[in-house]
Structure 1
Amino acid sequence: MHHAVVEFCSAHGDPWVADQVKFAAKGPDGKTVRITVDLLNDAWDGPRPGVPEAVWKVVALAATSAGDVGITYAAPGRA
């Protein structure tokens, strides 16, 4: 079992952007492992440096499967 939940926010009244991705997976031992990736920098005015491209692909999938409503979901600089 694998899950990814993307949280979106509107910082400082700006357009909606992806804020966090929470991943969860069940390992062969039956235990669940979770990790949270913060997407915005500490000032909430841009992307956090070093977020892998694969994480941005998950964000894009979540946004498009939910129905794109003008949310910024592509990797910064690639939109």
Structure 2
Amino acid sequence: MAYHALVEFASPREQPWTAQQVKFSAHGPDGASVSLVVDLLNDACDGPRAGIPAVIWQVVALAATSAGDVGITYATPAP
């Protein structure tokens, strides 16, 4: 089974880059695909959404590491 995570970054209101959304997807043994989309910014788009599990932020931080290759710098939100 293959798992994928795609993280979208944004710079709301000309602030530093932040993770906006992450989409997890997988294909099961039967070939069917499933996905889960998590909005990471709060409704005002001025900070992280409350209640996001730490493991999701770990995935986002891994994606941000490779995003640094294109000039995006990122820090995981403080709990």
Q: TM-score, normalised by structure 1?
A: 0.87
Tell me the matched-pair count: 77
Offset of residue 70 of structure 1 = 5.1
In structure 2, what is the Cα distance between the partners aligned to 1:4 and 1:32?
13
1:2 corresponding residue in structure 2: 3
* Identity in percent: 58
The 4+ residue runs of structure 1 with deviation greater than 3 A are none
Q: Which runs of 5+ in 1 are unaligned?
A: none
2:26 corresponding residue in structure 1: 25
Offset of residue 29 of structure 1 = 1.8
Q: Could you say what the CA RMSD is over the residues aligned between the two structures, in angstroms? A: 1.5
- Which structure has greater helix proportion? 2
Q: Which runs of 5+ in 2 are unaligned?
A: none
